[in-house]
Amino acid sequence: MPRVVILDQEGRWDTSAEDEYLWWPRVLWIDPGVVSGVAVVWFDPAALLVKDKSTAKVVLAYSELFLRGPENQQVKQFLELQDKLDEEVGLATGCESFVVQQFNQDKDFLSPVRLRSALDYELWRKRGSGSSIGRGGAVGIPLHAQSPSDAMNAFTNHRLQALRMYTPGPDHVNDAKRHALLWIRKLKGRGKGMQYFKQAHGYEKEWFE
């Protein structure tokens, strides 16, 4: 596991528990490319769906990393992290969408498309040990998608800084965090809120006690 940065200031995150990263609901997102940004964001679903608190009060912790090298290697590394985070119920996984808006024959230009396709296929073949059990044990783990413009408009660099989640340098990890935060924010507005949350993340009664 990459280093986990704890943001919670209300004593909800148990720093003494080695597997705390598997207890809370979490979002794993990748901004794919020649260099990919990956982020995990943990959140308190009761604060989000029941108490209607601000994003700063909902987010508990985050982690981030860059993936570099051949595409197959990046896919392998991402899936290993996804496996680790999916050992218990609570995980949703996503990938930034990509729309071709220019003519470009450079091999690297379509790297995001190839990576997303490979991840989509590999996750489709899997039976998750955690989250998919919460979704009824269905074979195949969904790879959710959001557009880069939606994520950037919702969580600008200024907003990431205010949330203490901005990382100076290449934007790949920041973009992945934007998507994870947007996903969390949109959970309230999708369908019946709690119903969609259960479909996407599974359910543990203790999350809401």
**pLDDT in 10s for each residue of the chain, 209 residues:** 889 999 999 999 999 999 999 999 999 999 998 899 999 999 999 999 999 999 999 999 999 999 999 999 999 999 999 999 999 999 999 999 865 555 445 555 468 888 999 999 999 888 654 444 444 445 579 999 999 999 999 999 999 999 999 999 988 999 999 999 999 999 987 666 898 999 999 999 999 98
Q: Residue 152 belongs to a domain with what CATH number?
A: 3.30.420.10
Identify whether 24 is part of a domain: yes
The total domain count for the chain is: 1
Sign of CA dihedral 150, 55, 50, 131: positive
What range defines the domain where residue 187 resides?
5-11+20-82+91-99+107-121+144-200
Q: What residues have CB less than 8 Å from 164, skipping those under 6 apart?
A: 7
* Global pTM value: 0.89
